Structure formats: C-alpha cells, structure tokens
Amino acid sequence: MTKKYLLTLVFTVIFASLLLVACGGNAAEPAEPTLSQEEQINQIYTQAAETLQAEIALTEAAQPEPTNTPQNTPTSVVLATNTPLAQESPSPFPTLPALPSPTPQPTKPATAGGRPCLRAELLFESPKDGVALQPGQSFVKHWNFANSGDCTWTENFSLVLVGGPNFTDSGLLSLPDYSNMTSDGIPNGGKLEVSVSMQAPATPGRYKSIWMLRDDNGQLFGVGALGDEIFWVEIVVRN
C-alpha cells in the first residue's frame, strides 16, 4: 500500500467526519454532555493522524529490509618481479699456441784432440785487401783454404755472404761451381781453391764484403782456432 493511497484514505475519513458533524448540529442534545464542534474536529484530525501512522508502520513492516550488497573485496595485485638477468661471464681470451722453439743446428763433434770438426785455414787470397779499383770494374777473388778440421767437406758445402755489400750475383755459392771441389770431397789436410767473379760498385768508396763457409746441415764455420771467424773481400773504388 502506497503513501498516496493512505493519504487519500485519511482525507476521505476526515471529510466524512466533518460532513457528519455539520449535519448533526441541529439534532437533539444527547443525555450525556457532548463535545463542541471544534473539539470534535480536532478529535477527527487526531484519529486520522493515528490511523495514518498505523498504516505507515504496517507498510514499512511488510517491506523487507534491504540487504547490503557485499562489496567486492579488492584483490591484491601481485606485481611481477623483475627476473634478474643472467650475467654472462667474460669469455676467456683464446690461448695462443706456444710457438715452436727454433731447432738448434746440429754441430759437428770435436775431435779427440779437442779440435773443431769444421774449421778452415786461409792459405792465400788475391787480390789483397784494400785493392784500388775503378767504379764498376770486374775482378776475380781467389781464396785458398786448407781443411784443418777432422770432418770432410763435401760437394754440398757452400760459400755464404753474411754481411756487407754483395759483389756477386748471389749470396749463396755452391763450392763445386766455384772451386776444385769434387764428389770425393775435401778431407782433413786437403786444399780448397775458390775463385769467384765479382764487380766493384759504381760509387767511389771503401767496401768490405764478409763471407763464411757452410756445411750440408746449414752450419756456418770459418777460419781461426775454433773455426768461427769470418773472412772478407775489401776494396777501394776510386773517383
């Protein structure tokens, strides 16, 4: 029942009561004392108000109490944690392979008397050191050696330029091509005669070309008590 309906009902009751009071004003007086017209009207208003309050109370009691709608409980949001990046270990530098050690050249064993196996003795040379030549002049250098060691010199031995200017076409001269070397070799006490064609430089000055002998294993040797001294060609080119 709505409030609009209740109000209509109350006003209807009030209107009917007022109508009855107005119509009964000229009737015979009752035995008991009656209320005045104003008091009757007030009594009607009071009854109507009480009736209205009772109807409102019944209406409110009939209506179910509103239930509280449960609020959504906020769900805690779990923040994603940063996954730590995998730290890359520094790559070790590649290990370089060890360089092979140079193979030492084999040396000829010394003789029982303590003399080197490879040794030469210079017996003769021409032209002599300090010879004067014209610029670009050709000449032939002669060396005569004696094998003063106990090892035989073979046809695989060479004459090698080890320092200074080169007066020849090559710095490595095979002994059979420039000497009396034969397939029999030069034994201890034998003689080696070397002749090499050379040419003086075109520029005036003093020049010294340094040479040594070399065996078939690549070992250098020369003159002197230990067979380790050099021999040379020294010339002077004039203006």
Structure confidence by residue, pLDDT tens digits, 194-236: 999 999 999 999 999 999 999 999 999 999 999 999 999 999 9
Q: pLDDT tier at 168 (50, 70, 90 boundaries)?
A: very high
- Domain-located, residue 85: no
Q: Are residues 51 and 133 in the same domain?
A: no
Prior bond of 176 cis (ω within 30°): no
- Enter the tokens of residue 170: 């090559």
Q: Are residues 133 and 205 in the same domain?
A: yes
Q: Are residues 55 and 124 in the same domain?
A: no
Contacting residues for 148 by C-beta, under 8 A, at least 6 apart: 115, 119, 120, 121, 188, 189, 227
Q: Are residues 127 and 222 in the same domain?
A: yes
Task: Give the structural domain span for 128.
Answer: 120-237
Q: Rounded to an integer, what is the distance from CA 27 to the centroid of its chain?
A: 126
pLDDT digits (tens, 9 = 90+) for 123-162: 999 999 999 999 999 999 999 999 999 999 999 999 999 9
Q: Are residues 49 and 125 in the same domain?
A: no
Q: Are residues 128 and 228 in the same domain?
A: yes
What's the rounded Cα separation, in Å, for the pair 112 and 128? 36
What's the rounded Cα separation, in Å, for the pair 205 and 211? 20
Q: Are residues 140 and 215 in the same domain?
A: yes
Q: Are residues 159 and 55 in the same domain?
A: no
Indicate the angle between helix axes 3-23 and 37-62, nearest 10 degrees. 160
Highest mean pLDDT among 60-69, 73-82, 180-189: 180-189
Q: Is the pLDDT of residue 188 over 90?
A: yes
- Domain-located, residue 231: yes
- Domain-located, residue 68: no
- Domain-located, residue 71: no
Question: What's the domain count of the chain?
Answer: 2
User: What is the reported pTM?
Assistant: 0.55
Beta bridge partners of 147: 120
